[in-house]
Structure 1
Amino acid sequence: MQTEKISIYTLTSELHDEKSVGAVTKEFLESLGIGYAFKGNDYTDYGSSALSLIYVRTGGTEGIFKRLLPSLLEKSGHAPFYLLTSGKSNSLAASMEILSYLRQNGLKGEIIHGSASYIRKRVSLLAKVCQVRKQLKGCRLGVIGQPSDWLISSQANYDAVRSLLGIELVDIPMQELLDVLAMTPESASHETSDVEMVKRALSGANRIYMALKDVITKYQLQGFTLRCFDLLTAIKNTGCLALAKLNAEGYVAGCEGDVPAMLSMMVARSLTGLSGFQANPSRIDPETGEMLFAHCTIPLDMVERYEFDTHFESGIGVGIRGYMKPGPVTIFKVSGNLSRYFVTEGELIQSQAKADLCRTQQIIHLVDKSQTSYFLTEPIGNHHIILPGYHRETLEAIFNSLE
């Protein structure tokens, strides 16, 4: 880890000898095996690095912190306070009093305490989260058309998204995409299909892909969500192939104008570097924890193989049937005002290809079957994001850091 990512500041009681405390400090920090810039009691640039730690070296420091707090809040923008402690010289007790005071005043914080390996892992994760939050500031995500009419709970609070994550949501009229499409020529498709109807639709599906790339460039977007069902009536084709390709190219490309799903995909990609599969829960067994998820597109970089079919609901255009490698997965969703999130882990048992569902279908067994109750009693909309691998701890960390 590079030193500029982590700065360590200190709190020390005047009753303790600096020389002896300094020796303990050196031994403790070197045992952690992390790179850092040691700032001591000079808080001039507090909050300027990716992660600022306050090393509470001794007891009797609570009053010092209380006097510093107004200045620290001004410098850090009310970011959480991370209190590092070795547990020596009553440092843990002081940290607990400080954290309690922060909570009483509606402020967030955490005591980082434990074995050297635990502290190293925790600090590394927090540094990553802080860095991602800084990277998200100024990110631009497009909302092309409004959310589909049936997504009655999948709106977003634009101000909260900007304030808490620094992401700018950009409304783009659907007509603008249709106008770009009208000026985009069809070209021969590199893809093919044994199904004649799908084969004929591939060049038009690629035309949508090229038009969306033009919109991305014009608005300088890192991603978007598309009111894709409008394309079925307007040009008799689907955005499924375009979204599958664009996600694989590193953009976030969501379906049905679902803004919370797009935000979930953006946060997940920023933290993990992975594409996410936006899908509907189609079947839930609360007794076993088995769930079936399905949708008509999946990022091409998530699958071992894929094949083309028609779009399920309309029977036209191009849909994607993707087969992801079985194994650990994470299921994730955040609300449109960022006040709630859900994350759980499971195992992708198999993909299937039933005719009565959207084309990509995944059977997932939740690690904790009790988590099925969330989907049946307090879901955040219908779409959820599936990621390969276990990422619950990482995703929880970023939302626990929000002011």
Structure 2
Amino acid sequence: MNKGIKVLNIFLGSKARRGWPSPFYDYDARAKEWISRLDELKSQLPVEFMNYVISTMDEVNRLEREIDNSIDAIFVYILTSESTRFTYLASKRIADLGYDYIHKYGGYGIPTVYVIDLYGGDISGLPLVEDLEKTSRRFLIISSNDIGEIFKALRVIYAIKMLNSSKILVITRREANPAKYLSPQYVGLVKQRFGVSLEYVDYSDVKALYDEVDMDAAEKLAKKVMEKALEVREPSKSEIVKAAAIYLSLKKLLEKHGANALAIDCLGWLEYGKVEMPTTPCLALSLLNDEGYVAACEADVHSALTMLVFRYLAGRASFISDPVVDVAENAVIHCHCTAPTKMDGEAAPYVIRNHADSGDGVGLQVFMREGVDVTVAKFIEGLNEMVVSVGKTLGNVNIDRGCRTKVKVSVPDARKYLCGYKGGLHRVLAYGNHLTALEDLSRLMGFKLTLEGV
């Protein structure tokens, strides 16, 4: 999987008798300052820059030769605003260059980001926003000299690139309800909107890999998981070893198919009875998410797509949950048996439990940190809309009703959240406030962002 992005940086500037910052401004020197600062970002994100300082329309038009399918984004730095309106007109022309090239991300134009260099590009850059909106261009605009704002935009571009090279394995049976995600129409929709591939895997393929697992390796892993636990409650050691073996078989499956994500019909696994599986996959999903994969339960492809977004937009694991709305406490409690232990890279305390719904298998009761900003989101049916809310963790609910991990999260208005609820049962929770990043992603990828509970 190609994990780097290639960015075309265009620095626009010219001299005129009248303009900002001044008629005598050295925009070449300013461009060199930006280039030096941008190079510092290479240690934080795998990015390659192609840099051009442009001062004439002829040079702008020649840029068309530099645009091919290796370019993941165009960043336009507006350094001056002059009476000739060069930087304004050049910016509009570059929007056309990026739009006209039918890019690999679902047929959209190349993502274009405009950067207004403060006290220089403002007079050219601000009117540009309305003009580009009228032509339905998908673009971002940054008005700041803070390199951190550039990094945030690059992270969005990186997420788009990584989605485009992602593959989700849908593990179910052809006759099961989740097989609807495998129709040619749906597979094509996911590919068109996000660049993500879906691939069907039958339960029997997982069972075959399970039968080949090195049980000594599974026992060592089970011992490690048990040693780190606060307590082992219901499951026996032998059950935990089987759960560890499921993890090893699912990891092998991902490697075999060149995939970075899976959505498994775990409830069907328990109910169909057509493939004899030794235990539930709950522990396996927790461990896979800890390790950097995306692993969603109940074959929920919409949630898996949302988890992929958080993985690459925020660089973090996320928690697929069943929401419980408490209007009295103005909170939503997010519950499931598949929580990662490393939501922010640091291991959280956990108790080894069984799967609450069935009383079988192995799942983790993870105790998440209190007072942490979180973002909760999900793509809904049609994949043209994402619902999202932001809040703060208020603590963990430690009762035996419902799924094992239960983290309470504040919402602006729980009653509005409840009465406006849509999009199916699950939600996906990630540490951190990622609302601005999701807004930017929605602008570039063309989906609607709807706030919940407001």
Task: Tell me, yes or no, whether TM beats 0.5.
Answer: yes
Q: Indicate yes or no: 2:205 matched with 1:162.
A: no
Q: Indicate yes or no: 2:156 matched with 1:129.
A: yes
Structure 2: runs of 5 or more not aligned: 40-50, 104-108, 447-454
Q: Is the 8 A contact 1:198 1:309 kept in 2?
A: no
Length, aligned pairs only: 395
Name the residue aligned to 1:85: 116
Shift of 1:5: 4.8
Letter in 2 for 1:133: I
Shift of 1:212: 1.0
Shift of 1:167: 1.8
Distance change in 2, residues 1:209/1:390 (3 Å): same
C-alpha RMSD of matched pairs (Å): 3.6
Q: Indicate yes or no: 2:290 matched with 1:263.
A: no
Match of 2:365 among 318, 321, 326: 321
Q: Is the 8 A contact 2:326 2:414 kept in 1?
A: no
Name the residue aligned to 1:220: 258
Shift of 1:96: 4.3
TM-score by length of 2: 0.75
1:34 partner SS: helix
Q: Is the 8 A contact 1:198 1:308 kept in 2?
A: no
Shift of 1:372: 5.8
1:300 partner SS: coil
Shift of 1:125: 0.9
Q: Is the 8 A contact 2:321 2:429 kept in 1?
A: yes
Q: Is the 8 A contact 2:265 2:297 kept in 1?
A: yes
- For residues 26 and 398 of structure 2, the distance between their equivalents in structure 1, rounded to whole angstroms, comes to 64
Letter in 1 for 2:254: I
1:35 partner SS: helix
1:333 partner SS: strand
Match of 1:143 among 170, 190, 193: 170
Structure 1: runs of 5 or more not aligned: none
Letter in 2 for 1:101: D
Distance change in 2, residues 1:278/1:3 (3 Å): closer
Q: Indicate yes or no: 2:241 matched with 1:203.
A: yes
2:285 partner SS: helix
Q: Which moved more, 1:21-30 or 1:294-303?
A: 21-30
Deviations 1:37-57 (A, max 9, x none): 343144242575554222343
Counterpart mapping for 1:3-402 below 5 A: 5=7, 7-10=9-12, 20=23, 23-24=26-27, 26-27=29-30, 30=33, 34-35=37-38, 37-40=51-54, 41-42=59-60, 43=63, 44-46=65-67, 51-56=73-78, 57-58=80-81, 60-61=85-86, 63-64=89-90, 69-75=95-101, 77=103, 78-86=109-117, 92-114=122-144, 116-117=145-146, 120-145=147-172, 157-184=186-213, 186-187=215-216, 188=219, 189-190=222-223, 191-192=225-226, 194-195=232-233, 197-232=235-270, 233=273, 234-235=276-277, 237-285=279-327, 288-302=329-343, 303-328=347-372, 329-335=374-380, 337-366=382-411, 369-370=412-413, 373-402=416-445
Q: Is the 8 A contact 1:145 1:171 kept in 2?
A: yes
Letter in 2 for 1:294: C
- For residues 14 and 311 of structure 1, the distance between their equivalents in structure 2, rounded to whole angstroms, comes to 71
Q: Which moved more, 1:18-27 or 1:136-145?
A: 18-27
Letter in 2 for 1:400: R
Letter in 1 for 2:423: I
Shift of 1:140: 1.6
TM-score by length of 1: 0.83
2:37 partner SS: coil
Shift of 1:221: 1.1
Q: Is the 8 A contact 1:129 1:398 kept in 2?
A: yes
Distance change in 2, residues 1:351/1:128 (3 Å): same
Shift of 1:239: 0.4
Shift of 1:316: 1.1
Q: Is the 8 A contact 1:201 1:317 kept in 2?
A: yes
Distance change in 2, residues 1:393/1:87 (3 Å): closer
Distance change in 2, residues 1:151/1:167 (3 Å): closer
- For residues 5 and 371 of structure 1, the distance between their equivalents in structure 2, rounded to whole angstroms, comes to 42
- For residues 356 and 150 of structure 1, the distance between their equivalents in structure 2, rounded to whole angstroms, comes to 27
Letter in 1 for 2:170: V
